Structure 1
Amino acid sequence: MVEAPASILAGRFRLVRVVGSGGFGTVWLATERGERRVAVKILNREHAADPELVARFEREAQLGGNVDHPNVVRVLGHGRHDGRPFMAMEWVEGQTLRRVLDRRGPLPPHEAATIARQVLAGLAEIHRRGVLLLDIKPGNIMIGGTGPTAKIVDFGAACRLGEPYLFRGDQALGTPAYMAPEQRAGETVGPETDLYAVGVVLFEMLTGRLPRDAGDDLGPAVPPDLAAVVRRALASDPAARFRSAAAMARAIEQAALPLAPIEDTDQRPVVHRPAPQLRRAPSRWLEDLDAELASAMRSVERLSEGFDRVASTIGGWAGLAAAIVIVLLLLVLIQRGVVGAGP
């Protein structure tokens, strides 16, 4: 049973009901001064005496509080109440991507691409702030709100770029199935490490399963250009992956997918502009061009034949006229005795 703390935290957040709980904390639906709804995460009492867990919790609140982006759940405030640290976050009506996938299975490519691009937009801002998440997975992506919109949540394993990342015992914090090879090995991590995790999430959205390796086949239903994006994101060598979240998002956009709204029967869809397409397919266009060139050549041939006939006609009349002139000239000379008619 979850132990309820005082009903009002920091004189600002009134707790309403529990909406989720984990191994270290409990999430409550609350209201801020009786007005907007917020989510309040409170460290469980038995863990509040652990300095390491308290430091990690407060670190999560601080790093998350520095990011303000439509695709990241905002941290609105944090502090301590009754000796227990807490953080208040933006409330999102909806469900995690994990629950969406469990309920629906693989998503259509255009929908998976839309979610991935939104996650990458939020991730680009997080990286711009000098923070690495190191735990991107469907359970840490909310689908909901106005739109609906994909939002990144949970900075529990995050660290600042260039700083050592957190470990639990001899293992790095995070979820092994979504960890890049360098993160699992405890080596240097960077933005490419988070992009690997996005690649795993995109693979799972498209196929309904986790990838076995970077060359794992996504199946014929996935457009080849989108499959190439996934394979590059899953490269074992960080240098072979995309250099930034924005670059990966552009690659998805250039995959020529007709982007569509995220399907959610409880939310009003966002209208996305379809990707521009050729008015005619390239093969049909080439066929039409060949036909037009052949028609033009036939026209040239007909003109050439016409010119030949005209030239032949002119040549014939000229020869006859020359013969007549010669005969008349001979008659005149004979009459004048210049040319003899005979001996």
Structure 2
Amino acid sequence: MAMEALVLCLVISMQTALVPVAAGGLHRPPAMYVLGDSLLDVGNNNYLPGADVRRANRPYYGIDFPGGVPTGRFSNGFNLADYVAKTMGFASSPPPYLSLLGGQLAVPAALTKGVSYASADAGILDSTNAGKCIPLSRQVHYFNATRAEMVTTVGSSAVSHLLSKSIFLIGVGINDLLVFSRAQNKSAAEQQSDAAALYADLISNYSATIKELYSMGARKFAFNNAFQIGCTPNARLLDAAGQCDGSVNQLAVGFNDALRSMLAGLATRLPGFVYSLADAFGLSGDVFARPLAYGFTDIADACCGSGRLLAEGSCLPNSTLCTNRDDYVFWDRSHITQRTSFLSAQAFYDGPAQYTTPINFKQLAHSS
């Protein structure tokens, strides 16, 4: 009887008005589903077996999170998924999928706030960091399983309506680019040819993923492109002066251009498909060019780590930890701080027009 009452309440809530946001009488989307990599992972990797799986389940991760505990986020506190969710009216990112398995909270969470399938080290290609993460294809498989449980609980009509109004936040591709860049020892011409083949492979798989989600009922997509990954502390280590790795940044440029073109094409072929593409590359470039304007005093070093640029070692309980974490762009040698995530989400939601196309995240959330 208790479960029947819960299901009834869920159905009623889905058939009534969406939960309002405080400002302007706007309403938040009914749920948010997250797919991607470590910039969005809120703890799925904590549940994966294997010594080679990257996890943020130890101090100093989470030092600025409520309670000061590590949660699986590769951040000193909240991450990009959290702040995108907050701008849209949620308390934080939806919970990690693997934390809900085997419990009675999976369906209620999926129906009322969403689920996160994001996994650190994940790529578009199954071969990227294979065995160490949940690749994008598996994340979609997990979403399909969630959707089936939702349909069993409240029916296909209610689920179709819910998904058509919900946000699908996706940020992936960086790890594919990094794996590719580390394997390069060819001539410039050969590398250019290989990069073109990589883009074609990535975009083909990415497009197929989006169309698969669309076929399941997804309509509103928020995408995050690749930021200037050649400027992470880890990448700067390769340069004696600590400068950005231009070749890796160029890889990101090529991928981002192909992604933009692919999404524009899908919008003309998929009825009801609405999207916003966030330009993390452009925003990060502006931050690196004018850090003080954004409140940062350090754009090169990690806040937590060891060695040169605090990037020669991982963030561990015995690592060096910076004092003023809000002054740093990067938390560890490859991930951004909580404050960087906050500023990014704000820019993508309702910031300067150059950081999103063709609409911003706010317009996406409240589109009909």
Tell me whether the two structures share a fold, i.e. TM-score over 0.5: no
Greater share of residues in strand: 1
Greater C-alpha radius of gyration: 1
Q: TM-score, normalised by structure 2?
A: 0.23
